[in-house]
Amino acid sequence: MSDTTRDCVTSFGEPREAANDPIYGCIGQHPMIYHKNKVGWLADAQKLNLAPGTSNSVTVAYHDGLQLHATHMITIAVANSDRQYIVESRQRRGYDRKLPKKGVILHSVEPGSPTFSQPVLIDGDTDGDFYDDGPVWVPGERYQNAADNVTVCIESASAEGFQVSVASGLEIACEFRSVLAVRYLTPALAVSAGERITITTVVDNNGIPIDGVSGTVTFPPHLTYVEDSAAMDFGGTIAAENGALTFTYEPTEFGNSFEFTYVLEVAPGFTDSASESVTTALTWSNGSVTSTYSVVINPHLLYLPAVSN
């Protein structure tokens, strides 16, 4: 997944300075979850052990920040065999920032074997290059080993990790999902009458590829769109229409994002205090999502914490 020599020079297209730590130089990536478990870093509540003849669907949390009540490791047992399959998820940040992309990582291991007692990385594109993005499994992909009757479906992603379905000795249908998530780069604001605010909205594809997206942004009564202020990333269109914004964006794949910005103005004559919401609604061929962004107008009261001497 990550080649120390190669990545410390380019880090998948980034300059050397971005690939290396300014103090410690070239640093390695996180140990695999199998080894973290071997040295006792994982509690039982952070692991799912799948027995032969069973299946399950679970979110595998990113393992760069272990959470007590999250599943970070799945161990899939194979009937009549010492072989196991290990499922974990990683993202490009911290020690793992040199990975080609975020996704699910799969290993096979035979703890009792003198030959395969160490985990073997499963390469999705089978090209023999373990340092490209082949070993990184993303939504819409399925790993299936017919001989061991093991299936792993990578169905969608979220801020916490990846939703996967796993089975040993059973046939399961993968429920691949199209998921768009809306976030705002502009922090929640408090503004006064006559002031303008710029809102930047980012849409992330956390699921399977989507053919195209359309959407609207609607404004509350006391926030007015500033004419010609809307702008969108290349590949999309955005326009003001009937007091709202309408936009479209081209097909998008997992891990892709697009963003748009616009400017709103508080009516100069508005003197009351109010909390208003801007609503963004997205639709695509087999899904939809709605998100709101809150703005406090004319905050007249300031709350200070009590201080005792």
User: Residue 6: pLDDT band by 50, 70, 90 thresholds?
Assistant: low
pLDDT > 70 fraction of the chain, expressed in percent and rounded: 87
Torsion angle of alpha carbons 168, 109, 164, 146, nearest 10°? -40
Q: Are 268 and 285 within 8 A, CB to CB? A: no
Q: Which pLDDT belongs to residue 129?
A: 62
How do beta strands 257-266 and 196-205 pair? antiparallel
Whether the predicted pLDDT of 237 surpasses 90: yes
Whether the predicted pLDDT of 10 surpasses 90: no
What's at 109, amino acid-wise?
V
Predicted TM-score of the model (pTM): 0.83
Q: Which pLDDT belongs to residue 8?
A: 65
User: Residue 269: pLDDT band by 50, 70, 90 thresholds?
Assistant: confident
Considering the chain, tell me which residue range(s) the CATH 2.60.40.740 domain(s) occupy: 180-297
Structure tokens given for 1: 């997944």
Segment 7-13 shows an average pLDDT of: 53
Whether the predicted pLDDT of 32 surpasses 70: yes
How far apart (Å, rounded) are the C-alpha atoms in residues 166 and 168? 7
Segment 9-34 shows an average pLDDT of: 69
Torsion angle of alpha carbons 61, 64, 66, 67, nearest 10°? -50
Q: Which pLDDT belongs to residue 302?
A: 45
Comparison of pLDDT for 14 and 131, the residue scoring more? 131
Q: Which pLDDT belongs to residue 42?
A: 94
Cα R_g (the chain), whole angstroms: 24
How far apart (Å, rounded) are the C-alpha atoms in residues 98 and 55? 33
User: Residue 130: pLDDT band by 50, 70, 90 thresholds?
Assistant: low
How do beta strands 287-297 and 189-191 pair? parallel
Q: Which pLDDT belongs to residue 29?
A: 82
Chain-wide mean pLDDT for the chain? 88
User: Residue 22: pLDDT band by 50, 70, 90 thresholds?
Assistant: confident
Architecture of the domain delimited by 180-297: Sandwich (2.60)
pLDDT of 94-122, one tens digit each? 888 888 889 999 999 999 888 878 999 99
Comparison of pLDDT for 71 and 299, the residue scoring more? 71
